[in-house]
Amino acid sequence: MKIGLFATCVADTMFPEAATATATILRRLGHQVVVPREQTCCGQMHMNSGYRRSAAPLAERFVATYGAFDAVVSPSSSCVGAIRQLYPELLGIDHPVLERTMELSEFLVHRLGVEDVGATYPHRVTYHPTCHSLRVTRIGDAPLRLLRNVRRLELVELPDAQECCGFGGTFSIKNSETSSAMLADKCDAIESTGAGICTAVDGSCLLQIGGGLSRRGGDTRAVHLAEILASR
Amino acid sequence: MTVPAEGFPAAASRELRNRQLRRNLGQATSTIRAKRANVVAEVPDWEQLRAAGSAIKADVMANLDSYLLQFEQALTAAGATVHWARDGAEACAIVAQVARAHGVSEVVKVKSLTTDEIALNESLGREGIHALETDFAELILQLDGDWSSHILVPAIHRNRTEIRNLFRRTIAPEIDSDDPAVLAEAARRYLRERFLSAEVGVSGANFGVAETGTLCVVESEGNGRMCTTLPPVLVSILGIEKLVPSFTDLEVFLQLLPRSSTGERMNPYTSLWTGVSDGDGPQELHVVLLDNGRTRVLRDEVGRQALHCIRCSACLNVCPVYSRTGGHAYGSVYPGPIGAILTPQLIGIENAPTLPFASSLCGACYDACPVKIDIPRVLLHLREQAVEAVDKPAERLAMGAAAWVFRRSDRMRLVQRLMRVLQRPLVRDGRIRRLPRPLSAWTRTRDLRPVAESSFVERNGSGAARR
Amino acid sequence: MSDAREAILRRIRSALGDGNAPTQTGDRQEIGREYRRTDGRAQDTLVELFCERVGDYRAEVQRIASAALEDALTAAALRSGGRRLVVPPGLPAEWRPAQLELVPDAELTTAELDELDGVITGCTVAIAETGTIVLTSDAHEGRRALSLVPDLHICIVQASQIVGTVPEALAQLAPVVSAERRPLTFISGPSATSDIELKRVEGVHGPRKLVVFVTEEPP
């Protein structure tokens, strides 16, 4: 299968290792992975912040860049959600590539039927299901299925897992105190598990959670799911 | 209805410092949320009920004029007097007129958000008529000059000791226990006499049935039954969106509402009355149909669905923002996610421009809504209106610049390289701990990951280099 | 006021577009009703479910043979301190225990009702899934104030009156409303509040005690 990899602006800029890991996993499974140089940003921030019209050219750019691929895979459920749901609803874009665009874990589990990618990761890990993965892209337990098959990984349950981490795009700046209160509760929950790693399928939420954990100075780190799945 | 000009972020910042509020609220929202989840899970056709509820309300809005006329006709035939009110002032004047006609200085009231919205109590007060709140929580707030922080449990921000002290000062000087049962007993004794002698009752309505003219009030304590049964005169005020087409349609909402609201299979009391019944209950019934901004909401095809709301408060209880800031932060009678989309539409986006941004867009409200109001979708819609209504030049510039950069990949790579250079003095141990305004809003509580040494696409990209 | 009426109707029509024309009944949408409108379970299962669900509200509930009802009514009333009970005019003779002082509702004032200890009523329909009894101010139920003002409500439900679901109950109640315009009261447990720290307290303004008897045969 010829897969177009959409890194997203956040991962490309701040989490390149998550995008690299995504490519590694897909190539190991025998697929041709192409990273179009023209890719930039899906426009979610603009659509979510009231600047819908500014997002329109970015959406058109996405469709032009990826329209010909058999599948488009991204390490961000939130951006995938924006593409699949907001492009048609907010921008009136109707193109078959939207449905072929998937977040990595849902692509592996739901499209390829792969639950074991042969990874090994000797850490205690807790999984934070991000809001958009739960309620927009609705990837279900795909990440957990993959994590359960990682060798030497100890998976611990996160209390109140489905609570939002407080990121919310520009919400984290406009309502930074509320966002921080949500983050504090999320960090408490993560630290209560004793896990060394908190993982998720969204770079933006990991930016928030990782930033909170780092400021608290503990040993727990935020790591993208793709990196865990690519570890050998 | 007006909301304070300070806006949500400032009000939330103040409320977040109230430890008792956060503790009570956290406990209340998680308790009700769990109860709701249990009773919803036991209904095998919940999704079908939601779909029907949504479809019925959409139909009501699409044909609102004809349903209202049908409702008016049915009510009139059943012996009620129907009034129409364009705004709160007109509605309050109608209630005052009825009270004056009967020469009363006090009316007993069922808890009603609609009457809060139009500040009925204050308005009657100016006419020398006391509107006595009879819901337990509303009575507490009224006695203390406080206001509601939750649609369902308005006094959830107060604890039992505060309430005992309040009762000592006001209605029960002898009270010495803070046991909720003793406090409830005090309220019962205080109100009973007033119920038995009341001449005029005032209520809202959860539903009005267009086909039959039936009004419906859903409650727990029995104060609603008292107010709608014992006084010889009853005035019921309802927003024009509260209609359902037929009596049969109640079979959907009487399942959706209690389970979503209190997390019960059914609330203790539901009263339905159709006009005046000979020898049973009020012999004079006035029904006030209130617009007060609703037709303005109706104009917006996306935002219109906010009128489907049945005031269950499920969206409040699942909202991560509401459960931390509480209702007062929203500055409106309608708090939480539904308030964030309803209030700005009722009073105009320019008067509440921060409310649509009071959400992390987590989507929990949409999943919980019994009538499937797509709150996140309406939030985005209103954010666009807010940006147009209230100009923020710096933000507009930044967003425009970002879009300009993202429109070409070579610009994006260039900016990444630029940021790598600019961030150098700020990065320590692989993280950024301090940034200038407005990004200091991030770094006050969080570290920031720096821009990586090399971009993924830069290293791995293929295809046209420019564009 | 008619100004307001016309203005609101005009605003609605303008908001809905279509050249400000009034909507017609023919414009209305047929609603898809995919939810359950009947309950296929056996009647005895429904009766059991009803009793369980009424009990969940902390109401007293008991299945009882008609022959034993009179004694049970007396015992239930006395247990709750009820000696003088109001009875609606059409309450069947079998439901009027001789050992209690029964006060017929001959236009009692609310103050007089307030002096009484309780009330005995029948009901029109009962809902198993939600543990709800529905009163319609029929002759064996009396006007609404009767089951509201006194502190004890004893309600007799005939097993055959129990339906499974809310839609089934409303189907029975529709003619009572549309043809007779009788008021309805749905009762699910005793009066309650959770307004202080979410702690549930039974009994605020309505009857603090609800006792439900389910009899097998009609009187």
Q: Return the bridge partners of B224, or none.
A: none
pLDDT at B282: 98
Q: Are B445 and A215 inside 8 Å of each other by CB?
A: yes
**pLDDT tens column, B28-42:** 899 999 999 999 999
pLDDT at B362: 98
Distance from CA of B330 to the nearest CA of A (A): 13
Q: Is residue B8 part of a domain?
A: no
Distance from CA of C67 to the nearest CA of B (A): 30
Task: Answer whether B75 touches C (CB < 8 Å).
Answer: no
Q: Is residue A92 part of a domain?
A: yes
ipTM of model over 0.90 = yes
Mean pLDDT of chain A, nearest integer: 97
Q: Are C27 and B66 inside 8 Å of each other by CB?
A: yes
Q: Is residue A106 part of a domain?
A: yes
Q: How many CB atoms lie within 10 A of CB B400?
A: 13
Distance from CA of B197 to the nearest CA of C (A): 9
Mean pLDDT of chain B, nearest integer: 96
Give yes or no for residue B151 having a pLDDT over 90. no
pLDDT bracket for residue A119 (50, 70, 90): very high
The interface residues of chain B toward chain C in range 88-117, judged by CB-CB distance below 8 A, are 90, 94
Least confident of B324-328, B387-391, C1-5: C1-5
User: What's the CA dihedral at C161, C164, C165, C170 to 10 degrees?
Assistant: -20
User: Does residue A219 share a domain with residue A130?
Assistant: yes
Angle, CA of A200, A216 and B438, to the nearest 5°: 85
Nearest CA in chain A to B399: A46
User: Does residue A78 share a domain with residue A40?
Assistant: yes
Please say which residue of B257, B292, B327 terminates a domain: B292
**pLDDT tens column, A80-99:** 999 999 999 999 999 999 99
Task: Answer whether C106 touches B (CB < 8 Å).
Answer: no
- Chain A interface, mutation test: which of B22, B317, B361, B454, most A Cβ atoms within 10 Å? B361
Distance from CA of B405 to the nearest CA of A (A): 9
- Whether the CB-CB separation of B260 and B370 falls below 8 Å is answered with yes
DSSP C179: T
pLDDT at C194: 87
For range B46-65, the mean pLDDT: 98
Distance from CA of B123 to the nearest CA of A (A): 35
Q: Is residue A100 part of a domain?
A: yes
| Residue position matching structure tokens 């009523």 | C121
Which residue ranges does chain C devote to CATH 3.40.50.10420?
Answer: 32-215
- Chain C interface, mutation test: which of B167, B248, B257, most C Cβ atoms within 10 Å? B248
Q: Is residue B177 part of a domain?
A: yes
Q: Which residues of B324-363 are buried (b: 16+ CB within 10 A; e: fewer)?
A: bbbbbbbbbbbbbbbbbbbbbbbbebeebbbbbbbbbbbb
Which of B64, B191, B266 comes nearest C188 by C-beta? B266
**pLDDT tens column, A171-196:** 999 999 999 999 999 999 999 999 99
Q: What is the separation, in whole angstroms, between the first and last Cα of chain B? A: 51
Helical pair C166-178 and B250-261, crossing angle rounded to 10 deg: 130
- Residue A215 belongs to domain with CATH number: 3.40.50
Q: Is residue A119 part of a domain?
A: no
Distance from CA of A216 to the nearest CA of B (A): 8
* A135 neighbourhood in chain B, CB within 8 Å: 362-364, 366-367
Residue B393: both structure tokens together: 């030049």
pLDDT bracket for residue B149 (50, 70, 90): confident
Q: Is residue B239 part of a domain?
A: yes
User: Does residue B188 share a domain with residue B62?
Assistant: yes
Size of interface B-C (CB pairs under 8 A): 266
**pLDDT tens column, B218-250:** 999 999 999 999 999 999 999 999 999 999 999
- The sheet that has B81-85: what strands, in order across it? B81-85, B284-290, B233-239, B200-203, B106-109, B130-133
pLDDT at B467: 61
Q: Are A178 and B439 inside 8 Å of each other by CB?
A: no
User: Does residue A98 share a domain with residue A7?
Assistant: yes
Size of interface A-B (CB pairs under 8 A): 206
- Residue B235 belongs to domain with CATH number: 3.40.50.10420
Which residue type is seen at B114? T
* A182 neighbourhood in chain B, CB within 8 Å: 320-321, 324, 360
**pLDDT tens column, B439-449:** 999 999 999 99
**pLDDT tens column, B185-211:** 999 999 999 999 999 999 999 999 999
- Whether the CB-CB separation of B402 and A45 falls below 8 Å is answered with yes
Question: Do C and A count as touching (3 or more CB pairs closer than 8 A)?
Answer: no
| Whole-number Å distance between alpha carbons of B27 and A90 | 37
pLDDT bracket for residue B156 (50, 70, 90): confident
Q: Are C170 and B299 inside 8 Å of each other by CB?
A: no
Q: Is residue B204 part of a domain?
A: yes
Give yes or no for residue A27 having a pLDDT over 70. yes
Task: Answer whether B68 touches C (CB < 8 Å).
Answer: yes
User: Does residue A142 share a domain with residue A107?
Assistant: no
User: Does residue A178 share a domain with residue A81?
Assistant: no
Least confident of B193-202, B268-277, B458-467: B458-467
Full domain range(s) for residue A216: 124-230
Domains contained in chain A, number: 2
User: Does residue A95 share a domain with residue A157?
Assistant: no
Q: Which residues of C108-132 are buried (b: 16+ CB within 10 A; e: fewer)?
A: bebeebbebbbbbbbbbbbbbbbbb
* C130 neighbourhood in chain B, CB within 8 Å: 258, 265-266
Q: Is the dihedral of CA B308, B313, B319, B322 positive or negative?
A: positive
Distance from CA of C112 to the nearest CA of B (A): 10
Give yes or no for residue B466 having a pLDDT over 60. no
pLDDT at B22: 87
Q: Are C31 and B212 inside 8 Å of each other by CB?
A: no
- The structural architecture, per CATH, of the domain C32-215 is 3-Layer(aba) Sandwich (3.40)
Full domain range(s) for residue B175: 43-292
* B44 neighbourhood in chain C, CB within 8 Å: 36
Q: Are A38 and B463 inside 8 Å of each other by CB?
A: yes
Domains contained in chain B, number: 2
Question: Do C and B count as touching (3 or more CB pairs closer than 8 A)?
Answer: yes
pLDDT at B464: 64
Q: Is residue A185 part of a domain?
A: yes
Please say which residue of B265, B292, B319 terminates a domain: B292
Please say which residue of B264, B292, B320 terminates a domain: B292
* C49 neighbourhood in chain B, CB within 8 Å: none
Nearest to A202 by CA among A2, A1, A22, A3: A22
User: Does residue B64 share a domain with residue B203?
Assistant: yes
User: Does residue B54 share a domain with residue B195?
Assistant: yes
Question: Do B and A count as touching (3 or more CB pairs closer than 8 A)?
Answer: yes
Which of B134, B220, B280 comes nearest C192 by C-beta? B220
Average pLDDT for runs of 10 along chain C of length 219: 90 88 85 94 96 96 95 96 95 96 94 97 98 98 97 97 98 97 97 87 90 83
